[in-house]
Amino acid sequence: MELALILLGLALLVVGAFLELVGAVGILRLRGFFNRLHAATVSAIGGSAVPLLGLSLLSVALEDLGMQRFHLLGVCLVAALLILILAPAGAHALARAAYRSGEVAKDFTYDAIAEDGVGWD
């Protein structure tokens, strides 16, 4: 049982580290704010929530931490849940503000908001 938890946790951790690197390269290399927003979401959910879930499994399987491993489990689960809820909400608020401020270049192939002429209000 412990071996399965450790292996699953390590797998999630390695996948998360890979996605974090992908998101970091994307946020550095992609052109335009909205493309970078896409890369940032990869690094927020794939690179932070997934490895935190893996770390919660890993920490509960490591017996040598004693009872404190449940503290680590709780922190990891709460942080992963908060990231899952708050990262999309924050990214959406940022995208909305960027679109409406006019500071960011809007080089879209199709802009449904401008087409409807209604905006977000």
Partner 1 sequence: MEEVVTRVIEVVILAYLASATLFLVRAVRGPTVFDRVLAVDALSYDLAVFMVLLALYLGEPMIAIGAVVLTLWIYSLDIYISKYVESEGIGD
DSSP 3-state of 111: coil
Q: How many helices (H) and strands (E) does the chain have?
A: 5, 0
Q: Which residue lies nearer to partner 1 by CB, 3 or 118? A: 3
CA distance 121 to 109: 23
Per-residue contact track with partner 1, 33 to 62, x per CB under 8 A? x--xx--x--xx--xx--xx--x--xx--x
Gyration radius of the chain over CA positions: 19
Of 108, 52, 103, nearest to 75 (Cα)?
52
Residues in contact with partner 1 by the rule CB under 8 A:
3, 6, 10, 13-14, 16-18, 20-21, 23-25, 27-28, 33, 36-37, 40, 43-44, 47-48, 51-52, 55, 58-59, 62, 64-65, 68-69, 71-72, 75-76, 78-79, 82-83, 86-87, 89-91, 93-94, 96-98, 100-101, 103-104
